[in-house]
Amino acid sequence: MSRIGKKPVQVPAGVTASVDGQKVTAKGPKGELFFVANDEVSVKLEENAVVVQPLSQSKDARSKWGMSRTMIENIFKGVKDGYERKLEINGVGYRASLQGKNLQLALGFSHDVVYQTPEGITIAVPKPTEIIVSGINKQQVGQVAAEIREYRGPEPYKGKGVKYAEERIVRKEGKKK
């Protein structure tokens, strides 16, 4: 039995939810998102909560049960509050700036890296060494943050590069004489 899947997903205040077959749609102050559940689970709207149940006790159905419930919870949180991911830049001369909607990164390469911001994502640069990626889709926010980090990931000797704000870099000791 899935401990996560057993709990019904409460529809937050300010969010309207509708279930049409396997499609769950959520509308909120930040926008609108939908999730199409797998055919191995059933989705019902009961008393201002979405209930997800597996249709059989097969391993496949049970594994998709908890995942479907979590995805529905994520779209509710996304349309109500949204998601954000903070990135930090460490290194001499490493900095970020916004040019229109595009993010320009100086990361020690011969040319600056220009990252095109995808639709539905907003990028803010409060300081030259800090980037905030925000949006309503949790997966898309994480993907964009990972793509930005991929240009110059943190290295273990000096910690230079782009890292998540909550990430801890395990430092290595340098050469000894």
Mean pLDDT of 65-87: 94
Q: What is the mean pLDDT of the chain?
A: 92
Cα gap 67→25, rounded to integer Å: 16
Mean pLDDT of 87-105: 94
Residue 142, class by beta-carbon neighbours within 10 Å (0-12 exposed, 13-18 middle, 19+ buried)? middle
Name which of 29, 34, 45 is nearest 137 in CA terms. 34
Strand partners, 97: 104
Is the pLDDT reported for residue 118 higher than 90?
Answer: yes
Confidence of residue 4 (pLDDT cuts 50, 70, 90): confident
Cα gap 17→42, rounded to integer Å: 16
pLDDT of residue 1: 63
Q: What tokens does 138 get?
A: 């949790």
Residues 23, 48: contact at Cβ < 8 Å? no
Per-residue pLDDT tens for 42-71?
A: 999 988 999 999 999 888 888 899 899 999
Cα gap 106→19, rounded to integer Å: 46
* Helical axes 59-80 vs 138-151, angle rounded to 10°: 90
Domains of the chain are: 3-80 (3.90.930.12), 83-164 (3.90.930.12)
Sheet holding 16-20, edge to edge: 16-20, 23-27, 32-36
Share of the chain above pLDDT 70, in %: 99
Cα gap 171→177, rounded to integer Å: 19
Is the pLDDT reported for residue 123 higher than 80?
Answer: yes
Backbone dihedral angles phi then psi of residue 153, each to the nearest 5 degrees: -65, 160
pLDDT of residue 176: 85
Helix (DSSP H) and strand (DSSP E) numbers for the chain? 3, 13
Cα gap 136→102, rounded to integer Å: 19
